[in-house]
Amino acid sequence: EALGPQEYTGIKLEVREWSEAAKKLVEGKLGGRKVSMVAATLRPETMYGQTNCFVGTAIKYGVFVVNDQEAFLCTYRAARNMAFQGLLSGRGEIQQILEIDGTDLVGTKVSAPFSVNPEVYVLPMDNVLPTKGTGVVTSVPSDSPDDYQTLMDLRKKAEFYKIDPKWAAFEPVAVLSTPTYGEMTAPALVQKLKIQSQKDTKQLAEAKEISYKEGFYSGTMVIGEFKGLSVQDAKQKVRDSMIAKGAAFAYAE
């Protein structure tokens, strides 16, 4: 854990089609606003490889007013931080439109800005912390061991997790290359450390540490506007480009 404030990038995943359960809850309440699920990431340069979005099933989310046209979906805790950072309507005041359980969001179709997959689905993840970021995690299975392993778990036990297999069908996308692990760092580390499921949290933490360092210090972009640049050089450029296009914003905590 970092000691100082953490500089996240808030990625705006626009809701394109609510799940059946969510549809009933939001009906007539949004005042015509478009809703974005806000995912907090430390790896904006990997957004080309988004394959789905994760929420915690035991987490409560809210829909919060940004302005007459727009609302954000995240935890109340994140909305409070956003309000203090001037990212929501009003001066530090929070206008919550409704509350919704993570479970009810599963199956919602959202946009995935900059991804080769323009639209992806919301899926459940066990290890989403309610106390970090926005409680919404965008999934990049090529470069995040947690994302990769969870996606594999969901594919293996679609019925148990109550998901439609097509929601978990998007394949990992090559985003960056590293000398040690090639273009699929996360799958390579999951295999190397013999990780079996998302419950292997200790090994996953180790894999996360290794992949983060390897990607940052030795990675080269193999996709997108900054293809060929080192990850160190591309990271801020991709972030700036996403912010300039209105697909993301700076979010700290």
**Site residues, ligand A2H (CB under 6 A):** 6, 40-43, 46, 127-129, 132-133, 135, 137-140, 143-144, 147, 208, 212
Shortest reach from residue 50's CB to ligand A2H, in Å = 8
Task: Using the minimum distance from each CB to ligand A2H, give the nearer residue, 68 or 225.
Answer: 225
Nearer to ligand A2H, 30 or 208 (CB): 208
Q: What angle do CA 36, 33, 112 make, to 5 degrees?
A: 25
Q: Which is nearer to ligand A2H, 83 or 173 (CB)?
A: 173
CA–CA separation, 73 and 78 (whole Å): 10
We find the least distance from the C-beta atom of residue 241 to ligand A2H, in angstroms, to be: 17
Smaller CB distance to ligand A2H: residue 128 or 190? 128
> Least separation, in Å, of the C-beta of 66 and ligand A2H?
20
Structure tokens at 212: 């983060």
| Helix (H) or strand (E) segment spanning residue 49 | none
Nearest distance from residue 129's CB to ligand A2H, in Å?
4
Indicate the SS3 state at residue 200: coil
Token pair listed for 140: 């990049």
State the minimum distance, in angstroms, from the CB of residue 133 to ligand A2H: 3
Measured distance CA(33)–CA(213) in Å, rounded: 40
Q: Which two tokens stand for residue 81?
A: 């931080």
For ligand A2H, the nearest residue by Cβ is 133
Query: Which CB sits closer to ligand A2H, 39 or 71?
Result: 39
Between CA 223 and CA 242, with CA 166 as vertex, the angle to 5 degrees is 35
Instruction: Report whether 123 contacts 169 (CB < 8 A).
Output: no
